[in-house]
Structure formats: C-alpha cells, structure tokens
Copies of this chain bind each other. A is one copy, B any other.
Amino acid sequence: MENHNRLILITNDDGIEAKGIRSLVEVGKEFGEVAVIAPTEAQSGMSHAITVKTPIRVYREHDFDPIVAYACNGTPVDCVKMAINRILPRRPDLILSGINHGGNSSSSVLYSGTMAAALEGCLNGIPSVGFSLLEFSNNADFSTAQYFARKIISNVIHHGLPKGVCLNVNIPYLPVEKIAGIKICRQNHGVWREEFEHRTDPSGFDYYWLTGTFEDLEPHAEETDEWALRNNYVAVVPVQFDFTAYQAIPILQKWNFNGQ
C-alpha cells in the first residue's frame, strides 16, 4: 500500500518501553510516517483519565530514531492531546494504540487506557484503532497480532471509518494458522466479581488489592467479542464516543418531573 506522506501517531498504555508498542511501530511504518508519543510508565486501567493537577512533561526518546518519539509523564489520553495540540507538525491521519499486553474486550473497554487513546482520537475526528493481545507477559510474541493489525490498518486506510467510530481490536494469543478469522462483534456484557483481596500490612493496617474474576453474563451470544475470542477469532468492535442511550430518551420523556 502506498505511503502518500501519511502521518501516523502511535501510543499505548503500557508505556513507551513496552514490546507491544514497538511491535505496532514496525507495522505502522509500512503505512506511513510514524510518530510515537507514549507514557513514560505503564498506565493500565487509566481509562480516559486526564492530568489536571500536576504539570505534564515530555521527553525526546532516542531509541526509536530516526522516528520522532516522545515519552510523556501523563495518561494515554494526555499523550494523544499533547501530540495533536503541541508536538506533531500537523494533524495525524491515523492513530494506532497498543498493542496492549492483555485483552480489552467486553466491559474492559471502560477501564482501558489503550481504547481511551483511540476514543480521544476519534473525538478529534481522526481514524483511530486500539489493538490488544490476550497475553500479559512482557516478552509476549506479537507476530500474530502484527499480522492481523496489518490487515485491519490496511482496511481502515482503504475504507475509512464511519464518523464518530473507532475500532477495538482484540487478538487471541495463538499462531496465525490457529486463528479462525476476523469477526465484527458487539461489546459483550460482562462484569468483574469479588474484586478485592484483603491483606494486612506490617503495621497491622488493612489494605486491598484490586483483583477479581470476569463473568460473561451472556456466554452464548455469538455476536459478542467474548464469544469470538473464545472461539479463536480476532474480535473487532466498532466503538463510539457518543454514550447516549437513545432508546431510553422516549421512555424518560414520559416521566413527570412536576408531579412528584
């Protein structure tokens, strides 16, 4: 695919040192000029958080040379804002986020810094895709994820994305030949249960670690991302920044706010 001086911003939430972002940069370079602005440290679970109480700093990162790369002490969303408003010479044509070490399917999209970065790009009118691999280890093998990222980026560039829509791409941790295909899905409805582990510190005070197990509340719904991933598909969910529950508007309009 031709380059056309396409400017591609790449960010993530695992931090600029992560293997996942380096794997995504390798793929991104095939499609245009890449610039990296990513958090200095891991920012997992930061969702769409922004930094308002402390100053934001950016540092030139030379081990990506000759690609322009900056580490930022803020969140993934701060990185996207900083890139668009301050660092890049012009608006990027495409934003890629990830490849995350660990899945972001189902309701994890609410907590995910990877997907928040993509949503922030989308809110700014820039085609954006978040990629996540279903494996947490630092040294995970990203070759399957790269193979499918290439196919998806190619399609995003060819077709564009519908207005107000970005993509949440989750990739099983399997060799390419074991992948059943790419499946367009909806977000699964699932929740986390028993979410805290209680411990006592050396001084005798209680503390808790956030933990828990995921429960799929609709395990037989074949149109969801969870089902697709369990069945070895790459799951692609179109995600929007308009959170309005349109179907609820006519219901609420019948409420009586004066009578009660």
Listed in ascending order, the chain A residues whose CB lies under 8 Å from chain B are 1, 42, 44-53, 55-58, 74, 77-78, 81-82, 85-86, 107, 109-111, 116, 119-120, 123-124, 151-152, 154-155, 158-159, 161-162, 164-165, 167, 181-182, 184, 186-187, 189, 191-192, 194-196, 198-199, 201, 205-210, 212, 236-249, 251-253, 255-257, 260
Contact between A187 and B55 (Cβ–Cβ < 8 Å)? Answer: no
Given A124-B191, A196-B56, A238 contacting B245 (CB threshold 8 A): yes
Contact between B243 and A109 (Cβ–Cβ < 8 Å)? Answer: yes
- Give me the 7 closest cross-chain CB pairs, A-B, nearest first: A238-B248, A47-B48, A55-B207, A240-B245, A238-B245, A186-B244, A47-B47
Measured CA separation A165–B184 after assembly (Å):
24
Contact between A49 and B50 (Cβ–Cβ < 8 Å)? Answer: no
Measured CA separation A251–B119 after assembly (Å):
19
Contact between A245 and B196 (Cβ–Cβ < 8 Å)? Answer: no
Q: How far is the CB of A53 from chain B (nearest CB, A)?
A: 8
Q: How far is the CB of A128 from chain B (nearest CB, A)?
A: 13
Contact between A181 and B257 (Cβ–Cβ < 8 Å)? Answer: yes
Kindly report how many copies of this chain are found in the complex they form together: 2
Measured CA separation A225–B137 after assembly (Å):
43
Contact between B237 and A165 (Cβ–Cβ < 8 Å)? Answer: no
Query: For residue A187, which residues in chain B have a CB less than 8 angstroms away from its CB?
Result: 242-244
Contact between A186 and B52 (Cβ–Cβ < 8 Å)? Answer: no
Measured CA separation A238–B167 after assembly (Å):
23
Query: For residue A251, which residues in chain B have a CB less than 8 angstroms away from its CB?
Result: 162
Query: For residue A242, which residues in chain B have a CB less than 8 angstroms away from its CB?
Result: 186-187, 189
Measured CA separation A77–B238 after assembly (Å):
24
